[in-house]
Structure 1
Amino acid sequence: MEPSDRIALTDLAARYAQAVDRRNPTALAALFTEKAAFVLPPALNGTDAPTEIAGNATLSTSIVDAVAHLHSTRHIVQQQVLDLDTPTTAHGEAYCSAHHIYPRGEGFRDNLIELRYQDSFEKVDGTWLFSRRELIVDFAEDAPVILLGR
């Protein structure tokens, strides 16, 4: 994999986190191919099986709607393993810590989810995009937090 491809794919994951945290469905949709798929695990969708959402417009709105009730979120992208399949397709895995801040009583709590994304990428008109993103939950914790400034 060329360094420029690796940088572009790393930037793509960071832009995804930023778009979710800023609740920006337009920016989020622009990171996916038109027919992309996003897969939610049973741990997050309330069912016994994974749920697949298809189409960049639908999935971007669904993702933003899923976090809209929260006070704020903070997605921290950690290591990524990336492999080129062809000059225009790749796959990889990205680790992420996802903080979900919500009000409880007189204060706030953080539902921290440690997760991984199993990603497939496609290069479209010279730009790397997600063609499939599957979320896997490893573990979660919930703790009180103090909000400072904002």
Structure 2
Amino acid sequence: MVNAITPEEAADRLAIRNLIDAYAHCADRRDAKGQMALFAQDTVFHVFMDSRSAEPTYVLHGRDALAPVFADLNQYQATTHFNGQSTIHLDGDRASGESYCIAHHLTVKGEKRTLMLASIRYLDQFMKVKGAWLFAERKLMVDWTETRNSQP
């Protein structure tokens, strides 16, 4: 038997999924300010370029520290982040979760096109601030990458 979900729990789950999707949308639109606004002021952002590593490649502290990371996406002609399944565990005004993403990064130099695909898992801690869900902590875990080259 499945336990019924309260309307409040359903609303929180939907809001968190919208937060996860807004992150990808802002990334693909190069909206660094919008992306940064999805994070708590004192957020911590860990990047693991190899998810098997015990130590992150780098760690950023605070919302303002995220600007150069999000601006780094400007090196690509286009990106597309496809969000997949997610698991959310609610605990009042806090939550934790894991979500999957396949990120496509297109570089065009002359007639050479390079597509880098990355399989990413995000390990998140969320917090509700003034009724809105934000990322309190985000761990970006790169499970694998593949690079494809093509010419017309």
| TM-score bin, normalised by smaller chain | 0.7 to 0.9
8 Å contact kept, 2:28–2:78: yes
After TM superposition, give the deviation of residue 17 of structure 1 in Å. 0.3
Structure 1: 5+ residue runs without aligned partners?
none
- In structure 1, what is the equivalent of residue 45 of structure 2? 38
1:109 aligned to 90, 108, 114, which one?
114
After TM superposition, give the deviation of residue 29 of structure 1 in Å. 1.4
Alpha-carbon separation, structure 2, partners of 1:137 and 1:42? 5
CA offset digits 1:38-66 (Å, max 9, x no partner): 1111449xxx743111111221x122222
1:76 aligns to 2:82 (yes or no): yes
Instruction: Please give the root-mean-square deviation of Cα atoms over the aligned residues, in Å.
Output: 2.0
1:17 aligns to 2:24 (yes or no): yes
Amino acid aligned to 1:30: A
1:125 aligns to 2:130 (yes or no): yes
SS in 2 for 1:91: strand
After TM superposition, give the deviation of residue 30 of structure 1 in Å. 1.1
CA separation of 1:9/1:49 partners in 2, compared to 1, >3 Å: closer, same or farther? closer
1:143 aligns to 2:148 (yes or no): yes
CA separation of 1:84/1:111 partners in 2, compared to 1, >3 Å: closer, same or farther? same
Q: Which runs of 4+ in 1 moved over 6 A?
A: none
8 Å contact kept, 2:84–2:99: yes
8 Å contact kept, 2:32–2:71: no
CA separation of 1:144/1:81 partners in 2, compared to 1, >3 Å: closer, same or farther? same
Amino acid aligned to 2:71: D
8 Å contact kept, 1:118–1:133: yes
1:100 aligns to 2:124 (yes or no): no
- TM-score (structure 1 length as normaliser): 0.86
Alpha-carbon separation, structure 2, partners of 1:80 and 1:34? 24
Q: Percent identity?
A: 33
| Corresponding residue pairs, total | 142
Amino acid aligned to 1:112: L
Alpha-carbon separation, structure 2, partners of 1:106 and 1:134? 35
After TM superposition, give the deviation of residue 105 of structure 1 in Å. 5.3
